[in-house]
Amino acid sequence: MTLPSSASKVLIVTGGSRGIGAAIARLAAQDGYAVCLSYLGNRQAADEVVAAITGQGGTALAVQANVAIEADVVRLFAEVDASLGRVTALVNNAGILERQARVDDMDAARIGRVLTTNVIGSFICAREAVRRMSTRHGGAGGAIVNLSSRAARLGSPGEYVDYAASKGAIDTFTVGLAKEVAAEGIRVNAVSPGIIYTSIHASGGDPDRVDRMKEGIPMKRGGTAEEVAKAVLWLLSDESSYTTGATIDVAGGR
Ligand code: NAP
C-alpha cells in the first residue's frame, strides 16, 4: 500500500488491534484520519484491522510497540512521522488487567506491570504527542483522549483494585495535562467505559463477565466497542472544540 507523505488528520491509537482500540481505528478511518494502530503481540489481529480500513479506501498502518517500553513508544512516533506525517490525534487506549485477585494476594511485580502499561505508557505516549502537537514546540495543536474506566470510581473490589487505581491515575493525568497544554492548542479528555464486550475480561479469568454482571447495569446490558469509539471520536473532533479536561462516561448508567 502507498501511504501519503503527509495527511491532514493523523491518529495514533495504542492497542488498536482488538476491542475498543480496533473500533476507534475503524471509525476514525471512516472519518478521514490516516490511522496508525499499535499492538503488543497480535500481529494477525492488527493486520486484519489495517486490511479492513484499506479495503474501504482508508489509510492505515500497524506498528508493534509495547507502551510499557519507552524506546518502543519513541520508535512508534518516529515511524508515524516518517510514514503518515505529524500526529494530530492520540488515543491512549492500550491497557491491561490481570487475573482477578484481592489486594492481599497481589505482589509488587503484578501491580508494577499494570501501572507501567496503563499509567506510565499513557504518560510517555502523551509526551511524544505533545512534543509534536504543542504550539510551544512549533506544532499546530491536536487532541488526546485517554481511556479511563468506571472502575476508577467503583474501585473493583475483589477483582482488580490495582487496575482501578491505574484508571484513577488516568483521570488525574487527564485533568492535569489538559490544563498544562490548554493554551498550546491541545485538548485532553477521557472516556470512561463501563462493562464492554471485549476480550479484556478473559485476561482477568472471567470471559463471561459482561453477561454475568449485566443485570446490575441500569440499562441491563453490556456496551459495545463501537459505542465507546463514538464518544472518543467526538472528543477528537472539532465538535468538542471547547471541551478539555473532561471525562465522558459510556457505561449504561453504571
Ligand atoms: P482488549 O480487548 O484486551 O485489547 C487490548 C488491546 O491493547 C490489544 O490491541 C492489545 O494488543 C493492546 N495492548 C495490550 N497491552 C499492550 C501494550 N503493553 N502495548 C501496546 N498495546 C498493548 O482491551 P479493551 O477491552 O478493548 O480495552 C481497551 C481500553 O479500554 C483499556 O485501556 C481498558 O482498560 C479500557 N476499558 C475497557 C473496558 C471493558 O469493559 N472492555 C472497560 C473500561 C475501560 P494485542 O492485540 O497485540 O494483544
Predicted model pTM: 0.97
Does residue 3 form part of some domain? no
Number of domains observed in the structure of the chain:
1
Q: State the pLDDT at residue 4.
A: 47
- For the segment 221-243, the average pLDDT, to the nearest whole number, is 98
Note the pLDDT tens digit of each residue in 53-100.
Answer: 999 999 999 999 999 999 999 999 999 999 999 999 999 999 999 999
pLDDT of residue 1: 41
Q: Maximum CA pair distance of the chain?
A: 53
Residue 197 contacts residue 19 (beta carbons within 8 Å): no
Residue 5's nearest CA partner among 90, 82, 61, 87 is: 82
The protein residue with its alpha carbon nearest to ligand 1, atom 23, reads 200
CA of residue 5 to ligand 1 center, whole Å:
29
| Residue 1 is assigned to a structural domain of this protein | no
**Nearest-10 crossing angle of helices 70-83, 121-133:** 30
Which pLDDT band holds residue 7 (cuts at 50, 70, 90)? Answer: low
Which residue minimizes the CA distance to atom 9 of ligand 1? 15
Q: How far apart are CA 22 and CA 38, in angstroms?
A: 10
User: Which residues lie below 8 Å from residue 129, measured CB to CB, with a gap of 6+?
Assistant: 12, 77, 87, 90, 142, 144, 186
Q: Closest ligand 1 atom, CA of 19?
A: 26
Q: Is the pLDDT of residue 6 over 60?
A: no
Confidence of residue 231 (pLDDT cuts 50, 70, 90): very high
165 pLDDT band (50/70/90 cuts)? very high
CATH classification of the domain holding 197? 3.40.50.720
Segments forming the whole domain that contains residue 227: 10-250
Average pLDDT over residues 195-207: 96
Question: 242 an active-site residue?
Answer: no
